[in-house]
Structure 1
Amino acid sequence: MAKRIVRHGQRQRAAVRALEDACDPIEEAYFQAKEAHWGAVEGGDPAQIREAKAAKVAAAARYEETRTWLRREAEVVKLQTRTIPRLEKILAAPILVKDGKNSAREDPAARAEVEQALAAARQELETLSKAAAETRRALEALGGEVVGDPVPLDLPPGSAEVTAPSITARPRVHRVRKDG
């Protein structure tokens, strides 16, 4: 069996870089707040320590909220442009199962399974859209600058471009077989 080589595409690397670039100013503010907190701890003044710690916690919360919002927006776009259209395309065609040597028949169990997956994807889209909108409002309330409109619920497939998708990490295990 041949070993499969996994390579990350240029688009995936560009998407990860775009997410990092979008979060750079917020991340930098967080690191500055951390440094200010360390300086206050070294100074020993309890009032300055409390103030610096509160600023650090606020910066960390803003950074995490921004990353969460970007991930949710990317997931909404993925559901709208890839997952739901793919399931609808599957349902538009007959779902056949082999029946005998040279014939096929419609498989109601497989169709029901795909319909259930489509319903679950639509429900998830609705839930994520609401969560992304709430996060957007919270970021704006914190004084964040949210660029662009929220992802509309009736987005046609393939019309959205995500510049900052979520970051995924998958562990890879590399084994060496020792035969004879």
Structure 2
Amino acid sequence: MAKRIIRRGIAALQAELGLLEALKPFEDNHQDAKERFSEAVASGDRARIVAAKQAKVEAANRLEDVRTWLRREAAIVKLQTITIPRLEQRLAAPILADGKDAGEDLEERARLEGALAAARAELEALGREATAFRAGLEALGAVVSGHPVPPDLPPGSADVTVAPIAAKTTVNRRKEK
């Protein structure tokens, strides 16, 4: 069997570029915090090092939170606009088996129906997760605008503004002490 060449289309490239553009300010902030930490370590001032490390940890956690949110939102949009409609369209037409006068391929139909059910279940789970995440942000004083599951908007469409909060942070699965 020959190996298939997988090429990225323009839409996939544009989606990736949109994600990178949305993350750029957070990545810049994280990079600045890392540089300030390096400068603080070079200076040897203990209080400055502790403050710079805390700023670096907060910037890293904020970057990861935004990245997770955007990926979740992109997955929801893809399920709603591409995966589920394509499966429904495929199931709406007859699925013919190979061969002359073979009739309908029941195994393929069953496989597609299973894939559609799995996609709907995944969409439901992601929607609940996004709604819970949004509710958590609102409980912390964030202002969240837009629908919890935007069906026709690109990644980064959710606008969230959060008041400063203090929380115990975790970076690289290590707890701060």
TM over 0.5: yes
The residue aligned with 1:64 is 64
Within 1, Cα distance between the matches of 2:116 and 2:7? 30
Structure ID, larger Rg = 1
The residue aligned with 1:94 is 94
The answer to whether the 8 A contact 1:65-1:139 is kept is no
Structure 1 gap segments, 5+ residues each:
166-180
Within 1, Cα distance between the matches of 2:55 and 2:138? 18
Q: CA deviation at 1:90?
A: 1.5
Within 2, Cα distance between the matches of 1:16 and 1:107? 37
Q: Which amino acid aligns with 1:16?
A: E
Selected match of 1:125 from 103, 123, 145: 123
Selected match of 2:154 from 162, 167, 170: 162
Within 2, Cα distance between the matches of 1:87 and 1:39? 54
Q: CA deviation at 1:73?
A: 0.7
Q: CA deviation at 1:79?
A: 0.5
The answer to whether the 8 A contact 1:16-1:164 is kept is no
Q: Which amino acid aligns with 2:76?
A: V
Within 2, Cα distance between the matches of 1:149 and 1:28? 28
Within 2, Cα distance between the matches of 1:117 and 1:42? 55
After superposition, the C-alpha distances for 1:105-157 in whole angstroms (9 at most, x for unaligned) are 122211111111111111111122233334445566778776643225xx4xx
Aligned residue pairs total 155
Query: Taking every aligned residue pair, what percent have the same amino acid on both sides?
Result: 51
Q: CA deviation at 1:45?
A: 2.5
Which structure's relative contact order is higher, taking Cα pairs within 8 Å and 6+ residues apart? 1
Report matched runs for 1:33-48 at 5 Å: 33-48=33-48
Q: Which amino acid aligns with 2:27?
A: E
* TM-score, normalised by the number of residues in structure 2: 0.71
Q: How large is the Cα RMSD of the aligned pairs? A: 3.1
Is residue 2:47 matched to residue 1:55? Answer: no
